[in-house]
Structure 1
């Protein structure tokens, strides 16, 4: 277990925060630090054809050790972390034999990880948890996934009596800002299918995700002295606020669950004459997803029509851009790949939790690029913030699932 802890900590202490405002790939130069480290590590454990391209995409191969021809499978994770919360100077804390009580992350700032709020903690009584120190995220999303893939490949290499076909490994940058699959070379990867190790709690198995779009809005206004503004001033900030409050009630992330979609305002800044709003639109159902985009466009069209005479043109500029789609459409025709992962979990005594992802993974994009790619648990909880934690036993379980999948596929005819 210490080997797993050491490897995971060696990854999360490297800052790989993605930068959504950058046009480069990777979006932040510091992602190269971990990417280059991973390349050397993959070579050191004995993988073959280890490569990294000019955009930091990593691929490697574990050759088959059987004579029969069986499907080539892959395992994929991302090494960047979200820009939602700082990933610099991560100082992991180890909680051995967790007793089910509160965990003091940071006494000075009174930051407490408590099962009274995060009930899932109680699933892991008696286990070893890795937490933050309350000032950063942890980075289990998705460095737990990388730990699992590297360790599983190392285990298979060290135990050649375990039979498996050809296995490919892929690590990507910038997944957290929606660009993880942008330059992934599916043809070079050469897999029949793959799995992302990017889910949350132990047992999660997902082949459905949101359809997703990003929306950029620019509200314009007219600044006039407030003492003489009646009928003349147009306050862009007020317009933006009215737009936000006019979005359908009860359809925000904090008010929805399961298959329910939402509208989510993620950024707001501005002045009287220029106010910018960024939002995302999500829905598992493609028809409802398209209807949500139409609804937002109509709201803006109505605002532009209302202010056309007073403003003298469009008062709001809008850009709606699709980000990814529900992978279910591409996975359902090859459902045996989900069945294999489910069987692997059951063989190991893990109860599969098959549910839709309320988000997206590289797998959703890759599935539409010709590589069906369901998602398997990586073990972490409370991603993207200071309350993030991962049970070491869950990392070990994910490693075991990878090895078990490899053995099941090796018996495929």
Structure 2
């Protein structure tokens, strides 16, 4: 199909609607999804999918949206592929009352957000804006995040579904759609039904700059350090009290700067204390440890252990327990076994007029865990920038290129299959 023929893109209109629905997830909630309001967007997406003629679209009890578009090709055995985005927004910044603003024909100047003039999206701090001159930039108003992470991806997939239903000349195999809750709090695929999806490959639409494709993530573990100190009445504590709170503070202070997130970049891993709680007798520090090399995760845990051992020498009557649990692993370990999944994604971006770039994520995606659940899943750009902040932005034109990429991917798989 000639994509130079103007599409009636719907991604922008959809995105402007979706971001006004508060879908913030909650890491402290034990429920699935963590917030019931995420289902508000899920129900809207199901309604819109049904209106397109996608008859099996539905929202399940856990807040997941599933849908499928039947194959329209005569070719036998075209692999089933899936597209996935998450519906929730990050707990880091309010997602309530989002007021999206379209800045038409961006001219390269800093963008001052109207509801908080201290929120300035500066060209010097957002280098990808240099590639957006003449494009239309969408921001929030300055008091909330925008929600481009990942409602841009949701809108792009929804637009691609619309185009596939409107343009039967786009030949494709069976296409599966998955929208997930709770990705931002690490639970995005906890209840995903891989058998129901039934796909050979999946693509998350949750990346940054146009043309970027990510086939590698951090591997991740969580570490819990429980410190058992010695409590005593403070008026009679001399020579007796060994405060777990103070021990915890010294351990955190003694961590090597070179392994902290603020001092690492590129392919470097880190050790990061993310939460501390407790009292004189007991204190708990929760860490996340990250690296692209799985074998380095035990080394990072040993770093915490060595620091704790050294600090505890000054507290002979106190003890600690160090517990490590797996969070997710580098999806490259799985994707390397199916190189065509990434290759076809790169080809689709070239056909969409982009210069594809293969990248690594200093983080994780739903694709990390989906890959190890039997559904190999690289990550494709959605155009989102400065996510989790009040300065979040996305461009209309990048979203449209993402739609083009999805459509080309459908055609590439139909043309090449598993060859």
* TM surpasses 0.5: yes
Q: Find 2:396's aligned residue among 392, 395, 401.
A: 392
Q: Deviation at 1:3?
A: 3.5
Q: Which residue of 2 aligns with 1:187?
A: 195
Conserved in 1, the CA contact under 8 Å of 2:202 and 2:375?
yes
Q: Deviation at 1:228?
A: 5.5
Conserved in 2, the CA contact under 8 Å of 1:132 and 1:387?
yes
Q: Which residue of 2 aligns with 1:138?
A: 146
Q: Which residue of 2 aligns with 1:82?
A: 90
Q: Which residue of 2 aligns with 1:356?
A: 360
Q: Deviation at 1:290?
A: 2.5
Q: Deviation at 1:346?
A: 1.2
Q: Secondary structure at the match of 2:82?
A: strand
Q: Which residue of 1 aligns with 2:75?
A: 68
Q: Deviation at 1:332?
A: 0.4
Residue 337 (1) aligns with residue 341 (2): yes
The farther-off stretch of 292-301 and 247-256 is: 292-301
Q: How many residues align?
A: 409
Give TM-score, length-normalised by structure 1. 0.93
Q: Which residue of 2 aligns with 1:23?
A: 30
Residue 55 (1) aligns with residue 68 (2): no
Q: Which residue of 1 aligns with 2:100?
A: 92
Q: Find 1:410's aligned residue among 406, 409, 414.
A: 414
Q: Secondary structure at the match of 2:169?
A: coil
In the alignment, the residues of structure 1 paired with residue 412 and residue 18 of structure 2 have an alpha-carbon distance, to the nearest angstrom, of 30
Q: 1:298 to 1:9 in 2, by over 3 A?
A: same
Q: Secondary structure at the match of 2:317?
A: helix
Q: 1:195 to 1:264 in 2, by over 3 A?
A: same
Q: 1:2 to 1:330 in 2, by over 3 A?
A: closer
Q: Deviation at 1:270?
A: 4.3
Q: Which residue of 2 aligns with 1:127?
A: 135
The farther-off stretch of 297-306 and 327-336 is: 297-306
Q: Secondary structure at the match of 2:330?
A: coil
Q: Secondary structure at the match of 2:333?
A: helix
In the alignment, the residues of structure 2 paired with residue 180 and residue 108 of structure 1 have an alpha-carbon distance, to the nearest angstrom, of 32
Q: Which residue of 2 aligns with 1:261?
A: 269
Structure 2 unaligned segments of length 5 or more: list them. Answer: 1-7
Q: Deviation at 1:387?
A: 1.2
In the alignment, the residues of structure 2 paired with residue 164 and residue 50 of structure 1 have an alpha-carbon distance, to the nearest angstrom, of 19
In the alignment, the residues of structure 2 paired with residue 366 and residue 108 of structure 1 have an alpha-carbon distance, to the nearest angstrom, of 39
In the alignment, the residues of structure 2 paired with residue 362 and residue 114 of structure 1 have an alpha-carbon distance, to the nearest angstrom, of 30
Residue 244 (1) aligns with residue 282 (2): no
Residue 371 (1) aligns with residue 375 (2): yes
Conserved in 2, the CA contact under 8 Å of 1:46 and 1:154?
no
Q: Deviation at 1:278?
A: 2.3
Cα offsets for 1:243-273 (capped at 9, x unmatched): 1122222122221112110112222344444
Cα offsets for 1:153-189 (capped at 9, x unmatched): 1001101111111110001111111111111111110
In the alignment, the residues of structure 2 paired with residue 24 and residue 343 of structure 1 have an alpha-carbon distance, to the nearest angstrom, of 40
Structure 1 unaligned segments of length 5 or more: list them. Answer: none
Q: Which residue of 2 aligns with 1:323?
A: 327
Q: Secondary structure at the match of 2:336?
A: helix
Q: Which residue of 1 aligns with 2:158?
A: 150
